[in-house]
Every structure is written in structure tokens, then in C-alpha cells.
Amino acid sequence: MITLRRVQKAFQTGSSRQDILHSVDLRIDPGEYVAIMGKSGSGKSTLLNILGALDSADSGEYILAGKPVHKMRQSKRTALRNTEIGFVFQQFQLIPNLSVYQNVLLPLTYGRKKLGRKKARVLQLLEEVGLADKKKQKPSRLSGGEKQRAAIARALVNEPSILLADEPTGSLDEATTETILQLFDRVHQQGTTIVVITHDQEVADRAQRVIHLKDGALA
């Protein structure tokens, strides 16, 4: 499903160059649930950005579902993000001026998939994450857990094959964390590949495999 070969990434700050990822090799199978752990600055988020085609590696290969992402042009990467990848962020990243319903609908608006009944799909997902009664609310009226559930619904609305989550429970209390993790379990059971970046061992323990990243390299 996902193959990274000798992936390198560095950032230039003024005259100094900072290496973030050093020759990362990684393989994630279809339907696998993987947690990536590491200290702050270890390169977790950079790795997730590359996996999510939000950023590109300086060198190395990235193959997703048999497609060479590292060779793709920007427009192809955009289409890939829309059709194959769902994102869940620590800060939820909902658009504040749109309602819960409109936020979840957004990927379908840009979608290339011909989902006949877009409205029904959004309502079904909101039902599944327990937000059907809050579909007209703005994100500012929701609790942290509700916001994250709305973000998960948005990530799943296009039926992606991979769900990438960056510290999805980082801003949530224990009880809410459990709700979100149960939701992830359900999504995983439906066959979706999940890659979670986390500091939290409890979150990592729910994954089938835990990968440790240290100073930009897999430990």
C-alpha cells in the first residue's frame, strides 16, 4: 500500500540547513493500523506531510497503491489527496465559518469521485460519528471531542483508502480520547489503512504496529 524508499527531507533556514528525515525506508500494508511515535522534532509531522502528499521529499521514492507519488505533478497530488487520503489533525482544522455539515461536505465539493448522493453520504457519516443533531452548528459551538468527530467524518466522506492522523487526541481528555479511538477501531475494521502520529502510548497501543522515529530516522 505505502512504500517509502530512502526518503530524505531537509529545511533551509537562512544559511543553515536542517536535516529532518534521513533515508527513511517504510512499508505499510493495505488495511494496516500503524502508530508512529517519537519526540518533538524527530520528523513525525514531516513524515506525515510526505505520506499525505502535502509536501514532497527532497530525494527517495514514495509509492502509494502502486503509484509513484514522488514523480507526480502538483495537480495529481491534489487529486490523490482528495480520493485516497483522509486527514485528521490535532487542532481539528475545521473551517470556522462553515457548519458541521458544510465542513464534512467540503471534500465532496472538490471531489473527483462521482458519489451520486453526496448529501446522504454526509448525513450517514454524521449519524455514525454521533453528530447528526449538530449538523447545522458552527465548529465554535462544539466541544473538542465533537470537533474531532466532525473532522473524522470529513476525512472519511470520500471513502479514502488511508487515514492519516496527526496527534488526533492531543487536545482531548481521557474519555473523549477513548471515543475517538473506538471510532478509529471501527474505521480500521472496515478496511481503511490508518497511520497515527502520537506521543500517547495508550493511542499507540491500539495500533497493530508501532514505528519509532528518532532524529529523522526509523529506530
User: Contact residues for another protein (CB under 8 A)?
Assistant: 49, 52, 54-55, 74-75, 78-79, 81-83, 87, 89, 93-98, 102, 106-107, 109-112, 154, 158
Q: Could you write out the three-class secondary structure of 124-188?
A: HHHHHCCCHHHCCCCHHHCCHHHHHHHHHHHHHCCCCCEEEEECCCCCCCHHHHHHHHHHHHHHH
User: Least distance to another protein from the beta carbon of 126, Å?
Assistant: 17
User: Least distance to another protein from the beta carbon of 86, Å?
Assistant: 8
Do 155 and 89 meet the contact criterion of CB atoms below 8 Å apart? no
The upper half-sphere exposure of residue 184, i.e. CA atoms within 13 Å in the direction of its Cβ, equals 32
Residue 106 or 210 having the CB closest to another protein: 106
Residue 195's CB is within 10 A of a number of other CB atoms, namely: 24
Residue 43 or 52 having the CB closest to another protein: 52
Residue 8 or 83 having the CB closest to another protein: 83
Give the dihedral sign, CA 63/34/81/184.
positive
Q: Which three cell numbers stand for residue 184?
A: 478509529
User: Least distance to another protein from the beta carbon of 62, Å?
Assistant: 15
Cα dist. 199→39, 77, 90 in Å?
Answer: 7, 28, 12
Q: State the maximum Cα–Cα separation within the chain, in Å, rounded to a whole number.
A: 53
User: Least distance to another protein from the beta carbon of 209, Å?
Assistant: 25
Residue 77 or 206 having the CB closest to another protein: 77
User: Least distance to another protein from the beta carbon of 156, Å?
Assistant: 12
Residue 197 or 204 having the CB closest to another protein: 197
